[in-house]
Amino acid sequence: MSDPVTVEPAATAASEDKVLPAVTYALYLVGLANGLTVILGLILAYVSKDNAGPKMRTHYEFLIRTFWMGLAWCLIGGLLVGVGAILSIILIGIPPFLLGVMILSLLGVWFVVRCIIGLIYLARDEAHPRPYTWLV
């Protein structure tokens, strides 16, 4: 009589790959200096999201949302800076210009904080608790 074959479930939850999310976070942080690696990180997040386990999927969702929210605020701040710079010739563009500079400055801080918080959760081998949040 043959013994039944027992197949042990793969330890996917315990041994999810943390390297690709960490690389994506690093690409995002390096992207503050050059801009190009943020796009590479976004592509990596989209490609890796479907094959990731439940914990790492929350990190990919967090990274993807970080990019798109950051891009939206960057466009708003850049538009205010551009319009404000043109209109500052007749002195009515100074407030929008300063508001745009403030938005872009705060956006940089927000971006770095989100990436560092995500890296902390990743280092603890935890799922991101709030991947759909606007703040941290």
pLDDT at 2: 53
Spans in the chain with pLDDT lower than 70: 1-15
pLDDT at 102: 98
Q: How many CB atoms lie within 10 A of CB 30?
A: 15
- Sequence ranges of the domains in the chain: 19-123
Which residue do the tokens 């890796």 mark?
48
Which residue do the tokens 């872009």 mark?
104
Cβ atoms of 122 and 18 within 8 Å: the answer is: yes
Beta-carbon contacts of 72 under 8 Å, excluding residues fewer than 6 positions away, are none
